[in-house]
A and B are shown apart, each in its own frame.
Chain A
Amino acid sequence: MSEFALQRVAERFPDAVVQGYAYRGDETLVIQREHLVEVARFCKDDPELDLKLPLSVTCVDFIDEKPRFELVYTLYSITKKHHLRLKVRVGEDDPTVPSTISVWRGMDWWERYCWDMYGIRFSDRGPMKRLWMYEEFEGHPLRKDFPLRGRQPLIPEADIQDIYRGPGPGPGSPPASRSNPPRPSQLPIVK
């Protein structure tokens, strides 16, 4: 991870960068979503940065904050041996982000994962298909307000009850720890 990368991007795109910091040795840049593709292309093409290897795109759901979603792009340069992390915040009302597959083709499936699990739309690419869940699934499972056990079966299932349930939480019961308040995804499903 390198300080140098942070400074270089910040010099070149002063209006795109919201914040730059390093925590535990990882350099991170928070940028505006409109400038994402430009910054990404600069990161890839600039000979000093040379961030050609796209590692992943992921999304974190800060349900208590606005804007809610934070997209995290992790990039690496094989020649310069440094990582860089780009973060973009998008709100729940308009979760659209320009797609970076024109810059790195390897981001394709990771963007599909963000759509499937969090509902982030990516513009300038073909229609998004779900990656892990089936198309009939409704909702985006990794969002914090999606219940952990929100199963949507495709075929009818036989209703087999537990014969013996040992100690510990089961489906529908509150979580074991008293000190951590239950997150929305841990609450029992009330249909």
Chain B
Amino acid sequence: MAQEFITTRREEAQGFLERMVSRGLGWARKYSLFTYPFATACCGMEFMSISGARYDIARFGAEFPRFSPRQADMLMVIGTINLKQAPILKRVYEQMAEPKWVVAFGVCASSGGFYDNYAVLQGIDKIIPVDVYIPGCPPRPEQVLDGLILLQEKIQAQSHKLIDRHPPAPETVRPAGRDLLIGGTK
């Protein structure tokens, strides 16, 4: 924080409390990540590997995949997202409740990979904000766990305000186009 301002003792005290709370919340959140594995493609194989017994993601606390966006806090986008899948990904992201983090698993999710063509979304950061990018095609499980540790450090370092004096503006833009989640045989 580069600004100069005079702190009163009340603000200093609040700063201390906020830091303590942030650290506690960060600790709790980073060791209990509930993953929503939005698995599409080959990277899904490596996701199966890290869920397995050898590269155990459970020891990082991120054991349970929660297949409902309402119950998950880490959206792991595993594999290529193409333009048909993009509205669904965005919908799933919007349905998740705060706090939520997004991990782009693999190069196809990070940037489109080597599929620079008419069908593939060139990186999920074009539609949702991403916290950690894990490159690799597919990334080795060790690389994924490294990405997970980076995410955990990021979560630990997040600060939380006790009183939010300036809440963010609600998102008013609804994505246009066919509502792909309403089903029915046509």
Contacts and interface: CB of A to CB of B under 8 A. Distances in A.
Chain A directly contacts chain B within the complex, with at least one CB pair under 8 Å: yes
A136 B119 CA distance: 13
Interface stretch (B7-15, B101-109, B121-129, B133-141): B121-129
A160 B126 contact: yes
Contacts, number: 56
Interface stretch (A15-23, A47-55, A74-82, A148-156): A148-156
Nearest to A134: B84
Nearest to B125: A160
A134 B116 contact: no
A134 B175 contact: no
Contact of A160 (B83, B86, B123): B123
A175 B117 CA distance: 14
Contacts of B161: none
Interface string A148-168: 111111111110100000000
Interface residues of B, number: 19
B125 A154 contact: no
Given A141-B118, A141-B119, A149-B116, A154 B177 contact: yes
A interface, by DSSP: helix, strand, loop or mixed? loop
A91 interface: no
A154 B116 contact: no
B118 A136 contact: no
A176 interface: no
A154 B117 contact: no
A75 B119 CA distance: 30
In this complex, which of A134, A155, A156 has the most chain B Cβ atoms within 10 angstroms of its Cβ? Answer: A155
B118 A146 contact: yes
Interface string B44-84: 00000000000000000000000000000000000000011
Interface of B: 83-84, 86-87, 90, 116-119, 121, 123, 125-127, 173, 175-178
A152 B121 CA distance: 10
A158 B126 contact: yes
B117 A148 contact: yes
The SS class assigned to the B binding surface is loop
Contacts of A182: none
A185 B121 CA distance: 19
A147 B178 CA distance: 24
Given A133-B84, A136-B178, A151-B83, A157 B118 contact: no
A147 B116 CA distance: 11
11 contacts: A134-B84, A136-B177, A148-B117, A149-B118, A153-B86, A156-B173, A156-B175, A157-B86, A160-B125, A160-B126, A171-B116
A85 B118 CA distance: 30
A156 B83 CA distance: 11
Contacts of B118: 141, 146-152
Contact of B175 (A150, A155, A171): A155
A4 to B, nearest CB: 42
A116 to B, nearest CB: 11
A151 B86 CA distance: 13
Contacts of B84: 133-134, 154
A76 B120 CA distance: 34
